[in-house]
A and B are shown apart, each in its own frame.
Chain A
């Protein structure tokens, strides 16, 4: 695997590389057609920036408007090492923190570049009118987030994702209004057209009338998000799915580190069978709340009647120096462990308490409500409980996926001309993502990286005209139509959601917060059986034409069934624990993740082989600047 990382020193790589990239003459940019799939932070920023440069851009998404993309739901903030707080931050420190936080499974060169361009993102967003939080003197405010030792997180109340997305959306709208960019809503990409080994278009379904459409172009950009909905219940929006990246994978794009998934520790627990999604409660709650379970297993008393000496503040006990602020993966795993041992609380026994009684006593209810009022309100809306009076119940939930399509330093996949941005690629977070880094990566890829790198590919290639009747186009179109027909013709007894829920439960149990060889082998046996049952017994009303949400879901779930198998395979092959990937067999005596740098310091890139087993390709990871060490939060 050649990641095409420039040979210069890490500080100079990106600058030197940009100089070496071929440029497209401004007068010629119009002649190149780029299709951008997805309008979240990465997709909207890329589409707008490319149109500004003069490229002929088409943007599409399955939502009715670009502004509905799931980036909108991000709460916390976006990192940039501006060092406005004079607390010792620097590009180097953000780089270091991100490589370490990713548990030494990310590429140093990519992470350094991310840290470098992150400052420009803040400037860009401010210029667009994003209403970031301000100090009284009028300057930008920062807060510390996700356990970072410096304050580098820029934020817009608890709706940073919304405001950043609306910024990128406004840039996109400006180009649509000027007629330099064509946007198509309610279109779902269902295949990539590959001609002569290069991406030359996509096939999409118009979700309103069901028409199958062809978009021919010179390069394709996928910015279609992550795949945490493979677990059925997650903090992701309901429609978030892996279909675009999975179909690209089946056309030759390698899938990297599929088993690297992030479980967020502070979510409202699952309450019943019919639940459709899990809601994240901002991580900031752990700054002031204390996490505990009763010392006696199965203790069903009202939490307020359980005396302090009868409580186990297990994070404070296990990690005296970090306490309740240990990283996401550690906090999640410990919560699961306590519940598995029978100490969990609430109706299902799968929850732990997050208690604010101490801070309310110390600082008063008003102080807490000013800081966390909206979260307490949200908790009350969902659970009908008052967290000022009784502890919140929380439990981890699937939240983000670090794995994704493999890309080189230019963000190009193994299909030339197919670029992958944001959560859809694997590139920057290694085995664990730090808080406030997802927004940063999405916008870095879209505003600054792909606009520079894509020109090199376009300028260096010759593009023969592709006719819509080209055999590769017809083949891809037929492929899509046949899949629809197959799904529609099952006419079975069970709904798409029932199958999805079964798959999610299985993945959560066997390929979720902790994994074992035995469990993963079991999953690898079960998933193909479930998948077969799905194709035989699924029921989808209506026909393949017109607006049909059940059909849309069915296509996505069919892909989740295939991706799930690859995730389990990847998790089984990685005989080590790192970041969000915890293998029960590989832990220290204290139960911490035990990496194996000798054997597994590589990116696992999987090649699709039709019905046969996927082939593993390795991209070795070298650490020249940040020496791998065991993460310790004791």
Chain B
């Protein structure tokens, strides 16, 4: 297979950036999208040219490092996968492929397809945890948790923090990410003591980081590689209102 790539190149934060065209030749359908980029990069490196920078690590869809806007979709055309789990058989031979970084004010571009997602970390630092020190905790089984609550918590906790929700949203809203963490901890008895404070602090931080608001287009859910449901955003709003009113 052969492809023509249009890739966003940007030297650093200050650079204005531009699309450049590359040929991806001798690609096989069983190559992953990142392996296709590896092969383009090998060609560039051999010529001594700067390679296309992108974040990646586990290459099995769990670390959340990779993330690209591919032909106008976060993580490309398939549902429920991250970029590293996308295979070239999903593309038509000879077709053009446009590759962009996540576009959001709160995710400044560091280089090419690499963006700074540390705003997510700062939201967690603001309160996305249960305040327990190491040691001095009760035996695990002294806190019974109904199976349904544990499952609900897990469904939200499955978020990999890739940022596709922000990139897919026309408002660059981080609500699905924030809501997933709030919902995870609110579903558990351990999360109750700080429940209100947590929601207020995380949401305040989210706003301070410059993320937009939710206008219910559900693009985040559609592009989430872990299929985290938007229902969590409703839960977050409820948590927020409850915390404000009581």
Contact = CB atoms under 8 A, between A and B. Distances in A.
Contacts of B110: 208, 547
B190 A126 contact: yes
A173 B138 contact: no
A196 interface: no
Interface of A: 45, 48-49, 52, 63-70, 72-73, 82, 84, 120, 122-129, 131-140, 156-157, 159, 162-163, 166, 169-171, 173-174, 176-177, 185, 208, 237-239, 271-272, 274-277, 279-280, 378, 381-384, 447-448, 451, 491, 493-498, 539-542, 546-547, 549-550
B129 A451 contact: no
B134 A381 contact: no
Interface in B115-162: 116-118, 120-121, 124-135, 137-141, 143-147, 150, 153-154, 157-158, 160-161
Contacts of B125: 173-174, 176-177
A108 B22 CA distance: 57
28 contacts: A45-B134, A63-B57, A64-B116, A65-B117, A65-B118, A65-B121, A72-B62, A82-B141, A129-B188, A131-B184, A132-B140, A135-B147, A159-B62, A162-B158, A162-B160, A208-B111, A238-B57, A238-B58, A239-B57, A272-B28, A276-B32, A276-B59, A381-B85, A384-B30, A451-B134, A495-B42, A539-B46, A541-B44
Interface in B25-53: 28-32, 34-35, 38-39, 42, 44-46, 48-51, 53
B3 to A, nearest CB: 14
A238 B49 CA distance: 22
A82 B147 CA distance: 20
A123 B139 contact: yes
B121 A123 contact: no
Nearest to A130: B157
B245 to A, nearest CB: 25
B35 A67 contact: no
B137 A127 contact: yes
Nearest to A65: B121
Interface in B142-199: 143-147, 150, 153-154, 157-158, 160-161, 184-185, 188, 190-191
B55 A64 contact: yes
Going nearest first, the 3 A-B pairs with the smallest beta carbon separation are A138-B144, A177-B125, A170-B129
A541 B45 CA distance: 6
B150 A127 contact: no
Nearest to B110: A208
Given A237-B63, A539-B45, A170 B137 contact: no
Contact of B48 (A122, A132, A137, A541): A541
A494 B87 CA distance: 26
A124 B63 contact: no
B209 to A, nearest CB: 14
Nearest to B120: A65
B161 A65 contact: yes
Interface in B79-111: 81, 85, 87, 89, 110-111
B56 interface: yes
Contacts of B55: 64
Nearest to A494: B46
Nearest to B139: A123
- Residue of A68, A159, A447 contacting most chain B CB atoms (<10 Å): A68
B134 A134 contact: no
A126 B144 CA distance: 10
A115 to B, nearest CB: 17
A73 B85 CA distance: 14
Given A171-B129, A173-B121, A546-B12, A48 B30 contact: no
Given A163-B157, A546-B12, A550-B51, A73 B60 contact: yes
A128 B130 contact: yes
B111 to A, nearest CB: 4
B124 A173 contact: yes
A348 to B, nearest CB: 12
Nearest to B187: A131
A52 B139 CA distance: 21
A132 B150 contact: yes
A566 B227 CA distance: 45
Nearest to B48: A541
Contact of B35 (A133, A136, A275, A546): A275
B147 A166 contact: no
B39 A68 contact: no
Contacts of A274: 28, 31, 35, 38-39
A138 B154 contact: no
B28 A134 contact: no
B232 interface: no
B114 interface: yes
Contacts of B128: 170, 173
Contacts of B39: 274
A239 B63 CA distance: 12
A159 B188 CA distance: 18
B48 A381 contact: no
Contact of A127 (B30, B48, B62, B138): B138
Contacts of B49: 541
B2 to A, nearest CB: 15
A159 B145 CA distance: 19
B57 A131 contact: no
A131 B140 contact: no
Contacts of A276: 32, 34-35, 38, 59
A67 B132 contact: no
A542 B62 contact: no
Contacts of A63: 57, 65
A540 B146 CA distance: 55
Nearest to B126: A177
Contact of A52 (B12, B133, B143, B146): B133
Contacts of B31: 272, 274
A522 B138 CA distance: 56
A582 to B, nearest CB: 28
A422 to B, nearest CB: 16
Contact of B50 (A162, A177, A239, A542): A542
B42 A497 contact: yes
A127 B32 CA distance: 39
Given A64-B117, A131-B188, A126 B140 contact: yes
Nearest to B37: A276
B38 A279 contact: no
A134 B59 contact: no
Given A127-B138, A271-B30, A277 B59 contact: yes
Contacts of A124: 132, 134-135, 137
Contacts of B58: 70, 72-73, 237-238
A159 B158 contact: yes
Contacts of A68: 57, 63-65
A237 B57 CA distance: 5
